[in-house]
Structure 1
């Protein structure tokens, strides 16, 4: 497949030794540590036109879902929602209402943290009609694209060969302002992959819409955009086009990283802040105790980054000031249970999904649900 061929073209070699994790699931019991943030003025630098969400006035857009994971918006404002465990893609009206199935992704193997994960709608959907999905198959994690009309047909595999495991499958995909497809790929439980440039795992990948390594990537012919990641599940761009990524830590620190092309974010040598190799690694700008976050999806509205937390059962809000951050603040703590995905809707509202039916939560009547703020 194209993914394997692209990786074979990588010629550089940067190897850092690492041992296997004994039990590094994203939500096993972990030690607590205080929130850390880079010192910066609170005043935002980018667009301030967006209205802040009212967290006291949630609207239930949809209920009774089965682990909603990826969300993408169609040109008319309706949302497509991927259910991790069922492999279904549902269409949800922009203003809420009954969800209806519009596609079934074939070959999804849902176990552990794997299944139907990220979802993205082509930025040229009105012309090409493509929807993209990242999922766990029988032998690997892969990315496909397909069209919704009629049965949708057999999806086209555009990138394959990402190692799969019961943990650390990554899975977030999103189109950037440049029209290219960005992919958060986990280390699949083998930490040494994150520092191996010949492996696509433990990386953020940057692909052309057909799945080939994007032109202008740090290494020609390679899909790798940044490396040294454990399990990225949040990708969001600010008003200046900067990419922010959210990453699960292992025992101590979850991370918010500002992504620069070719940068190495240190895993497994470093978790959290503390580059010990003379500038080889890039520190995160914010860290949380894993019990307070275990973060997944992320969205930026105006000059605020919103991060959905699973174990922490809260939504973190983080002011952005150029390439610096303000002090994180927790919202919705314990109110809706585990939060999986945060996404900015076309109308400027914030949509948040719960993940209480994923085997680690405490489902309530109506779970899982999508909330609009």
Structure 2
């Protein structure tokens, strides 16, 4: 498998994920700041779906039941229809600090739960059977499908999602070692693509490897448009956060370039924002719109798929740091707040899940 030459690493600074949110509404660093007609948009005042959560990171649905990961407690929560929560189990061996811990979740067609978490010395992806009925679900034993993913107290990536091809995708940060993002032999700074059992598909761009794209700093959002176009969000360093269209085998530049640079051999993002107005984490696609959860920007951002260089901001500064967003079975858009930062410091806003109608 070919390995590009190592690139020089810029000095590391504090992660955009753990910085203090701004007091003013977010503004654009690139793009027009206006959306496109015909795409889904949130309408009205969000309702509180569930509250009193502790650093929630990901929310998924299994047979209509919401499951939520809590980063610091390592608990998987089941939400009842009234919004109350109960733990169905604790993921064993989670030893994360800072931005590490219990991170992304995904559910396959068989109802099995996939979990990305930080162990004592590595990040890993595990699969769990879930037993019992709604209101009394229980987490089964862990089956590790991929381990040895580089970890650190920051830049752990952590998002899991099944693509329209039935493959499991995972975002992996550079774990503070920026040069690893350019090394296709390393799992750090990559988007990975694997079978549900954790093996490399034959049609991946690098033979025998799960690496699907590389040159990423800390990607945390994945979504697919109806035509199969794959999008990913990425935390930048001090200059640009990114929205990328992902193609197999492409190099997205980190740490050599950040943002739109027109540099030979690297793929430009389709849109960029300054970290203080963005810090994009989870993302979902609904009816022609990408919905992006932003931490420092404290905003739910919409980007129309048919014009991904533009955007519209919603609820700027109203709910604090927004970590994940997804479409609920009832047709509401759910987004969860994560107002305990990566250092374990809570801010006054409650960590909760909010639901809003779409039009």
Stretch moving more, 20-29 or 137-146: 20-29
Q: Deviations over 1:204-249 (max 9, x none)?
A: 0001001111231011210010011000000011111211000000
Q: 2:30–2:272: 8 Å Cα contact kept in structure 1?
A: yes
For the residue of structure 2 that corresponds to 1:154, the secondary structure is strand
Superposition map of 1:42-61 within 5 A:
42=36, 52-54=41-43, 56-61=44-49
Q: Secondary structure at the match of 1:193?
A: helix
Structure 1 segments unaligned to the other structure (5+ residues): 1-10
- Structure 1 residue 67 and structure 2 residue 61: aligned? no
SS in 2 for 1:57: strand
Q: What is the correspondence of 1:294-313 to structure 2 with a 5 Å cutoff?
A: 294-313=279-298
The residue number in structure 2 matching 1:149 is 131
State which drifts further: 326-335 or 232-241.
326-335
> In the alignment, which residue of structure 1 is the partner of 2:31?
37
1:1-373 paired onto structure 2 within 5 Å: 11-19=1-9, 21-26=11-16, 27-28=18-19, 34-37=28-31, 42=36, 52-54=41-43, 56-75=44-63, 77-93=64-80, 95-122=81-108, 124-125=109-110, 129-149=111-131, 152-277=139-264, 280-321=265-306, 324-358=307-341, 359-364=344-349, 367-373=350-356
User: Deviations 1:332-352 (Å, cap 9, x if unpaired)?
Assistant: 111011111111223332110
Q: TM-score, normalised by structure 2?
A: 0.90
C-alpha distance in 2, partners of 1:287/1:92? 35
Against the structure 1 CA distance between its residues 97 and 33, is the aligned structure 2 distance closer, same or farther, given a 3 Å change threshold?
Answer: closer
The alpha-carbon deviation at position 268 of structure 1 amounts to: 0.6
- What's the CA shift string for 1:157-188, capped at 9, x where partnerless? 10011111111000000001111100000000
Provide the C-alpha distance between the structure 2 equivalents of 1:39 and 1:86, rounded to a whole number of angstroms. 37
**TM-score, structure 1 normalization:** 0.87
Gap regions ≥5 residues in structure 2: 133-137
RMSD: 2.3
